[in-house]
Structure 1
């Protein structure tokens, strides 16, 4: 996930970490002056432009974030932040309320730590069904959306109900038998169809819905 650093970048990152131990936030202009002074003290020859290029590289590689006191090296030192990161890693597609409720974390604390994890790209987020979903950066967001959708109780109920309907069933029947609003059934079937987990065919005047073989590949626990 993280790119390797050159010798110059490693030296500059070490000085930045020293600087951040005594200063509130990382500000480029102030830190360049500090780095130049430290290099002169150690008789290391590097110009301002060279330092700026190295800092830009560290930012691009997510080792540091301007405006933050933290660096990539210590972002997971905080136990609460580490707990959130591991939870997201284990539960891709989780959303804010689920995280803070499951981990028993105050709202404002959760916001702060999740924002730090996002800033340093330890996690990513994407919007699906009015939720910000959090996940590990190497995952494809389409897969994350599927994981989230399949975890919903209504999705599980509909899939379970369709399992023994080999010849299909129409929306009205699903709505009646599951005591679920017709609009909700339509919404969930449309999403299942978009994931190619449900197919439909016209039988007379009715549109019949049934599961595709792709559902078996997922090995769902319904």
Structure 2
């Protein structure tokens, strides 16, 4: 994962940044949790770095959730837990996942509870490995670098019927709502429900309300 360079000199590759991370890891080993104030005091004593530079490095590490005050973990140790690694890998592999999907894929032998999954997801969210997006009644967990629109589209494309509707509109510039069920060959009530949901989430849009013509949104078409 890449991090934005704050002032042209601070990055994870910076030797002084690595020294402070190592001190943080040692503090966690000794005290079980990290206290940033204590880390600062030790860094001042042990490292030949100006206090202002240490503060800037600490701010960088905190901003990017590499270190978190009061935590027992650092960003590079968070995935050492087997279940957290599996959760993260599933979210990456499937371009996002719902809670129920994660529970099915991660706890395949029913060895874990919903409470455990919630805890591990909170840790991944806390350290900014993943993010959460609300889609209707679902909480969707996405890779941190994934665009929200791409995650939303991926969610709807996982359903076979939604996928058929989306590709239909990708290949048709615009279609009157009343004509869609004939062209897709589904019951009108099912078609109207799918259209309503996809329009609510801006996958599809009305081009002209007066004629009820629908098309796929420009952004979603770009993402397909």
What TM-score, normalized to structure 2?
Answer: 0.72
Once residues 161 and 58 of structure 1 are traced to their aligned partners in structure 2, the CA distance between those partners, rounded to angstroms, is: 47
Contact 2:153 2:220 in 1 (8 A): no
Q: Does 1:20 align with 2:28?
A: yes
Q: Is the 8 A contact 2:149 2:220 kept in 1?
A: no
User: Deviations for 1:50-107, whole angstroms, at most 9, x for unmatched residues?
Assistant: 5433322221233211221101121111111111111110112312121112222421
Find the aligned partners of 1:213 and 1:53 in 2 and give their Cα distance.
Answer: 42
Aligned ranges for residues 1-222 of structure 1 at < 5 Å?
1-3=1-3, 4-5=11-12, 6-36=14-44, 39=46, 44-46=47-49, 50-104=53-107, 105-156=112-163, 158=165, 170=178, 177=187, 180=190, 184-191=193-200, 194-196=202-204, 207=212
**Structure 2: gaps of 5 or more residues:** 4-10
1:199 touches 1:211 (CA, 8 Å); kept in 2?
no
Counterparts in 2 of 1:55 and 1:211: CA distance versus 1, 3 Å: closer
Q: Distance in 1 between matches of 2:217 and 2:17?
A: 52
Question: What is the root-mean-square deviation of aligned Cα atoms in Å?
Answer: 3.9
Question: How many Å separate the matches in 2 of 1:55 and 1:31?
Answer: 9
What secondary structure sits across from 2:32 in the alignment?
coil
Instruction: Assess, with a 3 A threshold, how the Cα gap between structure 1 residues 213 and 120 changes in structure 2: closer, same or farther.
Output: closer
Whole-angstrom distance in 1 between the partners of 2:74 and 2:16: 17
SS of the counterpart of 1:62?
A: coil
Structure of greater Rg: 1
Is the 2:96–2:143 Cα contact (8 Å) retained in structure 1? no
Match of 2:6 in 1: none
Distance 1:61 1:2, change over 3 A: farther
Q: When the two structures are superposed, what TM-score results if normalisation uses the length of structure 1?
A: 0.72
SS in 1 for 2:140: strand
How many equivalent residue pairs?
Answer: 209
1:97 and 1:185 map into 2 onto residues whose CA distance is: 22
Q: Return 77-86 or 145-154, whichever deviates more.
A: 145-154
